[in-house]
Structure 1
């Protein structure tokens, strides 16, 4: 059984360059990005698109280009935005937009095959064909590009996908920037040809040529007061914030994760699933979503980090320890995001 997708007011405003996101940049030097025509609104930012192109970009990486089947312009977006993609199997996955923000005809995403994953990447690689229809939600942005005097971008592997549009925009606008692009081998690193257009500001560092990355060394490349954007596997970001703060308190670090953070400070509790008549125990180090899906594998989810709202579920009784970044205070009165929030009472009863 799946729960209905009901975007919160915050997410309804988070489509390309609208509402609260617009206010972040008002009056900044990036404000011209927000003067482009607003997209045609479609209910809940749900779009039915068709696959225009599928292309191999590197070892185990394909890009998928999406377009409106009727040729209409797509909603605008800004660097760092992503799409929630509903695959034909019903799986929902999030993929960063990695195309050009000025091209309103298409969206482009890129997906690396994960050999020991949960099947989403394999479905993209093996199951999708040009002409297939896909439903997407978005664009939304949980990784916004702030206004700064200069930028240091650090991308690890498929982490280049949200970083590429940021680099392109800074290059287009003449903003000082540098990109350090990490990967196992050159053959495994997508979009090298596109990055070649930006010249010497791109620093390629495949492990086979430069050895494993040392995050302290990479952070030292940032100019004083720079905005540092880092996207890659969790080990790349571990400890980066403390290192940067020690080296340059005026700098800021911005990260995006591919996977959820481990549960911190959790206590065990019990869930009663009212409609199915089941009871499940949630361990101190697991999420309510993981526990529920042991009993009800069809429960929908996407980000697993508390901002997309896909796993929102109605609470019938019990107290919730809310850890999300999405629900309003009124929504928290009777709802929970299973992927991050926990019980503040021994038992929660859910409408599942």
Structure 2
């Protein structure tokens, strides 16, 4: 056994079906009496439902959007100040969780997150924010939520298409964790089992979105994938997705789902142990092809062109992604990243 360092994350997790009924007690345990409840505009009714579990003293802000723009965070901060908020409750996916983290970074208010997708970001001390068309990330324990309530019943209405890309987004967290510079045996176990659970669940959800067992497996897998990335550093995959999302406002989960097999292919020779674990979790002979086949099976987008990236942006994105790269097992060069993005733009995959 090689030497390693593992730092556990302190988030309390409540997992099950019908667990939303524990929210009021959990908020009280965290010292919240006047929380600010966050959601996207589309999920405002869910935010109002959550606020109703607390009482009339809870305020609602339903302006969360992708990539956590700083100007939206400032709007939410105003509402929090006016309400005298003593905590933040977020219900939704990565956009809402990101906004909660951005507020916590600036106020140190306690957070209670209720995920309704498989984003997994609720389990990480990582925050990505966008300002002036550029997305930057930071790691700070102040943004790590105090409690996450996973309620499987809240994911049953997640559309099949969104379930697919959200699940692949989660898998991307685990894949990256398996070849991270500071990976360790504990995160390896969590990451591999997270991939396995999602790979088992997502095709079943595609066939029957109301399959409770599959929904439970997917949410469990998303939790493991999120916490595995939360314990280690990010690499090329996340650098590319953050660059593309910030520059072109591409849909977050879809960007991850397209880029994932291409970065796995890029890193396979430099990270053979990680590739072996990914392939084993997918029950595939080849990690990259296995990820590509899973995306195809569940109907996820297979090219950057398909999700709205402009062709003329490839070169600019390659320059941006390599100007200040994250650590990565394979060397990162502008020509190589330009070639990767070109293939991903066209959806080219070897037979």
TM beyond 0.5: no
TM-score relative to the length of structure 1: 0.30
Between Structure 1 and Structure 2, the one with more helix by share is 2
Between Structure 1 and Structure 2, the one with more strand by share is 1
Point out the structure with max Rg over C-alpha: 1
